[in-house]
Structure formats: C-alpha cells, structure tokens
C-alpha cells in the first residue's frame, strides 16, 4: 500500500476520534448547564410560591382582623344591653327592696 | 487488499467512531434531563415545605394573638358587668340609708322602736350595769321609754332591774345633713355597753341596716337577676 494513503487513513481516524471527543464533551457541558438551569428554575418557582403564600397570609390576616373588630363591637353592645337591663331591673325592684330593709331594721322581736 | 477496500474500511471505522460518540452524547443528554427534573423537583419541594411550615407558624401566631385579644376583651366586659351589678346593689343600700331618715319621723313609732332596741340590747348583753348612748336629739325619747324597757327585760330574763346610765358626755353623732357628707352620722337607735365598756351592742339603725342588708343580699340578688333574660 502507498505510504501516503496509509497516513491519510490514520489521520482520518484521528480526526474522527477528536470529533467524537468534542461531541461527548459538548453533551457533558450541556448537562452541566442543564443542572444549573434546574437550580435557577427551582429558585424562580420557589419565589413565586413564597409570593403566593404571603398574599394568602395577608388576606387571612386582614379577614381575621375584620372579624375580631366585629366581635369586639358585638361584645360591647351586649355588655351595654346587659347593664341597661340591670339598671332597669334595679329601678323596678328598688322601692320594694328598700321597704323590706326598713321593715327589717325597725322591727324588733324580743 | 487494494486501496479502495482500505478506504472503505477507514470510512466504516470513522462512521463507527462518530456513531459511538453520538450514542454516548445521547445517553448523557437523557441522563441530564432526568437529573434536571429530579434536582429541580427536590429543591422545589424541600423549599416549599419550609415555606409552608413558616406560614403555618405565622398563622398560628396571629391566631393566638387574636384569641388573647378576644379573651381580654371578654374579661373586661365581664368585669364591667360585675362592677355594674355591684354598683346597683350598693346604690340600693344607699337609698335604704336615706330612707332610714324617714323612719324616725313619727315620735310614737320611733319610741316603740327605741324601746324594742333597748330591750334587745339588754337581752344580748345580760349585764347588771350598763351605759347607754344615743343621739342628743333622741335623749328625751329614750328617757321616756327606758324604765319600761328595763322592766320588760327584767321580766323576760328573770333578773333584777339593771342599772342603765345614759351617757351625757358622749352622744351618738346627729343625723346626716348633706347628701354626700362623709362626716360621722347616726340615723337613730342606741348603743349599749357593759359598764366597763368592754362589751358593746351596737343597735343603731345604721348598724342594723348593714346587718339586714348583708343577710338579705342573696334574696336581693335573686330578685335582681331573676327577670334578667340573657
């Protein structure tokens, strides 16, 4: 066989090896890049989730403070009503009670 | 072998080498994709769990705070009602105190009361010698009924007539004048003591009112709250 043709054959093979290596290296580089992407995308998703949770939390807080405000008001009204009724009741039984007490004080059983 | 065959073999080998590389690259890419998904999922889930826990904690805090606030309000409201109840009852006692001033208006009725009070005090004390104190304004009424009272006591207790001296130096304070006056006052009645002053029987109308009030308090409360629909 011709020496130059043998050389060319070997060179072709070497070139093919090099190309093969580049193909594999490129795949490996792409893999690293993809994994990095995983981190970035994960972070983005997490940030979005956090925002959602925060918004939901704020909504719940606002809702509950509205509720508790209403509760306090209701409580105040109920208390005022109770006291009003108490005073009315006292006024209505007061004369009878005073009479009873006076009788008790001025009656002496010996 | 001729040149053409060698050339073909080399081409085959080249194709083989490149094919192998492609296959390997493919494997790597597929593995990369899998790892990408797993890694991303793990990161997201683990962080999400942390975030959820954090917000659960926050929500619980808020919830506890709200509950404490409400409980505080509730307590304050209850105390308000209790205070009002107390005020109402005290008010009644004060009104009764004012009404007492009327009790002594009619001299005959008052004399009868005084006599009864003196007899009662004598029976309580069971002393042979006593000192009696009254209001200066009541002195003449007391003197009018003292002997009768002494006799009634002696009969009831089956003892001799006791010696009762009306204190002429110290009198019980007079009737209350101004409405809110906190000066000592007396609405009527008598105070008797053994001669050495050691045993005292406070039979003033004021003392009696306090005692009656305390005794009747449950009944008063029942009347107060019975019609209270809550």
**Regarding predicted confidence, which is higher, A10 or A51?**
A51
User: Three-class SS of residue B1?
Assistant: coil
> What's the count of helices (H) and strands (E) in chain B, helices before strands?
4, 4
Average pLDDT over residues A20-25: 94
CB pairs under 8 A between A and B: 202
| CB-based contact B96 A97, cutoff 8 Å | yes
Are residues A85 and B96 in contact, defined by beta-carbon separation less than 8 angstroms? no
Which residues in chain A are contacts of B10 at CB distance < 8 A? 9, 12-13
pLDDT in tens, A30-69: 999 999 999 999 999 999 999 999 999 999 999 988 888 8
- Please check whether residue B44 touches A, CB under 8 A: yes
| CB-based contact B7 A9, cutoff 8 Å | yes
The pLDDT of residue B181 = 74
| CB-based contact B25 A27, cutoff 8 Å | yes
Where residue B162 falls (left for φ over 0; alpha for ψ -120 to 50; beta otherwise) is beta
Percent of chain B topping pLDDT 90: 77
- As a whole number of angstroms, the distance between CA B122 and CA B203 comes to 11
The pLDDT of residue B167 = 92
- Please check whether residue B119 touches A, CB under 8 A: yes
| CB-based contact A72 B73, cutoff 8 Å | yes
| CB-based contact A100 B216, cutoff 8 Å | yes
Pick A98's closest partner by Cβ from B81, B85, B96.
B96
The pLDDT of residue A2 = 67
- Please check whether residue B113 touches A, CB under 8 A: yes
Pick B29's closest partner by Cβ from A2, A27, A101.
A27
- The CA-based dihedral angle spanning residues B140, B142, B148, B152, taken in that order and rounded to the nearest 10 degrees: 180
Q: Which of B227, B208, B212 is nearest to A92 (CA)?
A: B227
Please name the residue of chain A whose CA is at the shortest distance from the CA of residue B72: A72
pLDDT in tens, B42-95: 999 999 999 999 999 999 999 999 999 999 999 999 999 999 999 999 999 889
Q: Which of B14, B53, B82 to mutate to test the interface with A (most CBs of A within 10 A)?
A: B14
Q: Which of A42, A109, A41 is nearest to B48 (CA)?
A: A42
The pLDDT of residue B43 = 93
- ipTM rounded to 2 decimals: 0.71
- Å from B81 to nearest chain A CA? 6
Pick B21's closest partner by Cβ from A12, A23, A65.
A23
Residue B230, pLDDT above cutoff 60:
no
Are residues B109 and B188 in contact, defined by beta-carbon separation less than 8 angstroms? no
The pLDDT of residue A1 = 52
pLDDT in tens, B127-179: 999 999 999 999 999 999 999 999 999 999 999 999 999 999 999 999 887 77
| CB-based contact B96 A37, cutoff 8 Å | no
pTM higher than the cut 0.80: no
Q: Which of A27, A36, A49, A65 to mutate to test the interface with B (most CBs of B within 10 A)?
A: A27
Please name the residue of chain A whose CA is at the shortest distance from the CA of residue B5: A1
- Burial of B187 by CB count in 10 Å (0-12 exposed, 13-18 middle, 19+ buried)? buried
Q: At which residue do the structure tokens 């009644």 appear?
A: B92
Which residues in chain B are contacts of A64 at CB distance < 8 A? 62-63, 66
- As a whole number of angstroms, the distance between CA B183 and CA B36 comes to 93
- Å from A4 to nearest chain B CA? 11
- As a whole number of angstroms, the distance between CA A47 and CA B124 comes to 88
How many Å is the maximal CA-CA distance in chain B? Answer: 167
Confidence class of residue B223 from pLDDT cuts 50, 70 and 90?
confident
């Amino acid at each position: 066989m011709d020496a130059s043709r043998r050389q060319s054959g070997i060179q072709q093979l070497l070139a093919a090896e090099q190309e093969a290596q580049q193909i594999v290296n490129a795949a490996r580089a792409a893999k690293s890049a993809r994994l990095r992407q995983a981190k970035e995308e994960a972070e983005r998703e997490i940030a979005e989730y956090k925002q959602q949770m925060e918004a939901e939390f704020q909504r719940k807080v606002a809702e509950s403070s509205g509720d508790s405000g209403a509760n306090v008001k209701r409580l105040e009204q109920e208390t005022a009503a109770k006291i009003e009724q108490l005073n009315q009741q006292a006024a209505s039984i007061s004369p009878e009670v005073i009479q009873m007490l006076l009788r008790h004080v001025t009656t002496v059983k010996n | 072998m001729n040149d053409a065959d060698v050339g073909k073999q080399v081409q085959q080998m080249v194709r083989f080498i490149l094919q192998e590389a492609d296959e390997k690259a493919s494997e790597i890419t597929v593995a990369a994709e899998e790892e990408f998904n797993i890694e991303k999922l793990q990161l997201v889930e683990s962080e999400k769990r942390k975030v959820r826990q954090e917000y659960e904690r926050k929500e619980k805090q808020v919830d506890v705070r709200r509950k404490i606030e409400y409980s505080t309000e509730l307590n304050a409201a209850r105390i308000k009602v209790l205070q009002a109840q107390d005020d109402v009852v005290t008010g009644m006692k004060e009104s009764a105190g004012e009404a007492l001033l009327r009790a002594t208006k009619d001299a005959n009725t008052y004399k009868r009361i005084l006599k009864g009070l003196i007899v009662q005090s004598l029976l309580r004390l069971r002393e042979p010698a006593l000192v009696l104190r009254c209001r200066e304004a009541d002195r003449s009424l007391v003197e009018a009924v003292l002997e009768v009272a002494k006799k009634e006591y002696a009969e009831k207790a089956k003892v001799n007539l006791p010696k009762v001296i009306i204190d002429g130096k110290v009198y019980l304070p007079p009737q209350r004048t101004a409405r809110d006056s906190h000066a000592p006052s007396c609405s009527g009645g008598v105070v008797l003591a053994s001669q050495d002053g050691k045993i005292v029987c406070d039979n003033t109308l004021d003392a009696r009112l306090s005692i009656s009030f305390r005794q009747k308090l449950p009944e008063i409360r029942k009347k107060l709250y019975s019609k209270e629909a809550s």
